[in-house]
Amino acid sequence: MRRLFSTLLLLATVMPSMATTVPERASLHIPTLKNQISQVWPSVPLPASLAGQVEQETCPSLTHKKCWNPRTELKTDREYGFGLGQITVTSRFNNFEEAKKLDVKLKSWQWEERYDPARQLRALVLMNRVAFMKLSFAADYERMAFMFSAYNGGLGGVMQDRRLALSKGAAPNKWFGNVEIYSFKSKTKARGYGQSFFEVNRGYVRNVLKVRMQKYQPFF
């Protein structure tokens, strides 16, 4: 699932202060995120990375009104994304409806209630967990990298890229320096994105794990 809003985040320069500054609104929703993790995925490796993911999905800057805001939306002629996990709906797929199938507590989630942060974060944790369980070929840190790539660009794309990496002599079970380098995703700058889909996806993983996650570790 490609997250269009995430592409906008990659356009901003990553300042050194991002490593230590926690967005003000994050303090409102980190307890909810921790609660959802404890309920549906207590064994998640690197739980702080899921907070980094929320930042990646919602924060054009750490002081922007959309940062950690459950009412954050992106509307284009291509797709609609909303909330702390930027759940995406397009003409081809509806991740809101798919998320509702993952858990009994999400089954009754109505479109009019889509801005509920607890259910948004529950969906984010569950969607990540589903991908993680299908990526058992990799060790935890690498597995999380594959998982974030899948959240942003689709699990099918991850598997295709693994096969391509193997054909190039790279290790298909390792992300950094291996599958990270090879992809069938377009490397041509996409209209309205400012980057290619390849750059968006690879930047997503690196931003979450190597830039944004660290500041949230004390909370977890």
State which fold the 4-215 domain adopts.
Lysozyme (1.10.530)
pTM: 0.89
Token reading at 170: 């790279």
What SS3 state is found at 72?
coil
Q: Per residue in 126-139, pLDDT tens?
A: 999 999 999 999 99
Per-residue pLDDT at 7:
41
- What pLDDT shows up at residue 6? 45
Helix (H, G, I), strand (E, B) or coil at 142: helix
pLDDT for residue 1 is more than 60 = no
Provide mean pLDDT across the span 59-66. Answer: 96
The yes-or-no verdict on residue 104 having pLDDT over 60 is yes
Cβ 200 vs Cβ 2: under 8 Å = yes
Using CA atoms, how far residue 211 sits from 20, 109, 215, in Å, is: 10, 33, 8
Q: Are 141 and 45 in contact (CB under 8 A)?
A: yes
Q: Does position 192 have pLDDT exceeding 80, yes or no?
A: no
